[in-house]
Amino acid sequence: MSAYKLHAAITSVGHYVPPDVLDNAFFESYLDTTDEWIRSRTGIVERRILKQGATSDMAVLAAKQALERRGWTPDDVELIICCTVTPDMMFPSTACLIQEKLGAKNCWGYDLVAACSSFLFGVETAAQFVTSGRYKRVLLIGADKMSSIADYQDRNTCVLFGDGAGAITIEPTEEETGILDSYLRVDGTGAPFLHMKAGGSLRPASHETVNNRWHFVYQEGKQVFKRAVVDMAESAAHLVERNGMTGKDIAFLVPHQANLRIIDAARERMGLSPEQVMINIQKYGNTTSATIPICLSEWWADGKLKKGDHIVLSSFGAGYTWGAILVKWAY
């Protein structure tokens, strides 16, 4: 059951992925890896790379599409929340840079960081602003230029990531649609297994940090996998069950796209068929904050999302951070 009287509805979606493709053959050409290893262990066939520009540039293009589809001008936006782990700069926030590039003159905004769960946590955050009655037009963006923090000499991590952006608009509705329920968690004991070692206040940039390649993603994949495969599936299944539903009531699971084997585990735990799961990891790899909104935008554009559909957004990422959100599609 929904916890809110006024509901927060997703009313538009948009996305942008850069045109340049990095396929598995590229990695075969200089790393000790194979197309077969990458496909079978992750499900990834290729990913998009932003050659010029920054996270805000992709975010703005995704946002423009979402705003156009909704019929809002940039001036209609009251709040921009930008979910990202690859901000253009440490400060100002990427939300400020997006505001300026969009020319949105009537809003405030900020960045939200929860690694691969950033967008999920952003949806819950945006919903609070809307259901409180305080804001009516929120622009939520998930955007990451993962190529800026992937170590292209580390075969364990560089094959996993791609660049992209997705955006949604969130606004109030009195209908029984929108963001209905959420189950969200963090567990800081996961920090050693997935993090960036330097660039923060703990280890500011120095010759040592650069020489040691500490400004890139560090991941102990197997450790993260073991938790992700259980916690993403369990949180999504728990959320569905506590709302009195089963897999049959769910039109789509919209999982964070980190690994096809993690997605499959969640699908099986929830008793869903392959057609009930949004998967585009083969095309884009892991775009961190952007995976879920890109899926929503692609499926909506293909006419597959219908008003009244129940969908479950779910993710697992660094922190650890994870959880699931139940949405009744509103348009």
Please give the positions annotated as active site: 116, 256, 286
Instruction: Map the footprint of ligand UT7 across residues 97-116, applying CB under 6 A.
Output: 116
**Span of 87-95, 154-162, 241-249, 275-283 interacting with ligand UT7 by CB under 6 A:** 154-162
C-beta closer to ligand UT7: residue 103 or 192: 192
Residue number with CB closer to ligand UT7 (155 or 197): 155
- Confirm if 66 and 13 have CB atoms less than 8 A apart: yes
Per rule CB under 6 A, count of chain residues that contact ligand UT7: 20
Of 224, 236, 237, 265, the one binding ligand UT7 by CB under 6 A: 224
Q: Which of residues 282-321 bind ligand UT7 (CB under 6 A)?
A: 286, 316-317
CA–CA gap between residue 213 and residue 100 (Å, rounded): 33
Which one of 67-75, 224-232, 235-243, 304-312 is the stretch in contact with ligand UT7 (CB under 6 A)?
224-232
Q: How far is the CB of 267 from ligand UT7 (least distance, A)?
A: 15
Closest CB 281 distance from ligand UT7, rounded Å: 10
Which member of 5, 51, 207, 222 binds ligand UT7 (CB under 6 A)? 222
Between 207 and 222, name the residue whose CB sits nearer to ligand UT7.
Answer: 222
The C-alpha atoms of residue 204 and residue 209 are separated, in whole angstroms, by 8
Q: Which of 280-289 are b and which e, b meaning 16 or more Cβ less than 10 Å from the residue's Cβ?
A: bbebbbbbbb
Dist CA 5 CA 174 (whole Å): 7
**Look-up of token digits 């904050």:** 289
Q: Are strands 252-255 and 217-219 parallel, antiparallel or unpaired?
A: unpaired
Q: Which of residues 161-220 bind ligand UT7 (CB under 6 A)?
A: none
What whole-number distance in Å separates Cα of residue 81 and Cα of residue 122? Answer: 7
CA nearest to 54, candidates 101, 108, 121, 8? 101
Q: Which position among 150, 168, 258, 266 is part of the footprint of ligand UT7 (CB under 6 A)?
A: 258
Most distant CA atoms of the chain, gap in Å = 57
Binding-residue pattern over the window 24 to 43 for ligand UT7, x denoting contact by CB under 6 A: ---------x---xx--xx-
Residue showing the smallest CB distance to ligand UT7 in the complex = 221
Q: Is 262 in the site for ligand UT7 (CB under 6 A)?
A: yes
Provide the mask over 53-92, with x wherever binding to ligand UT7 is found by CB under 6 A and - wherever it is not.
----------------------------------------
CA pair distance 208, 282, nearest whole angstrom: 36
Spatial distance between the Cα atoms of 292 and 229, rounded to a whole number of angstroms: 17
The residue from 110, 221, 230, 310 that contacts ligand UT7 (CB under 6 A) is 221
Which residues have a Cβ under 8 Å from the Cβ of 150 and sit 6 or more positions away? 157, 158, 160, 161, 216, 217
Write out the residues near ligand UT7 by the rule CB under 6 A.
Answer: 33, 37-38, 41-42, 116, 155-156, 159, 221-222, 224-225, 228, 258-259, 262, 286, 316-317
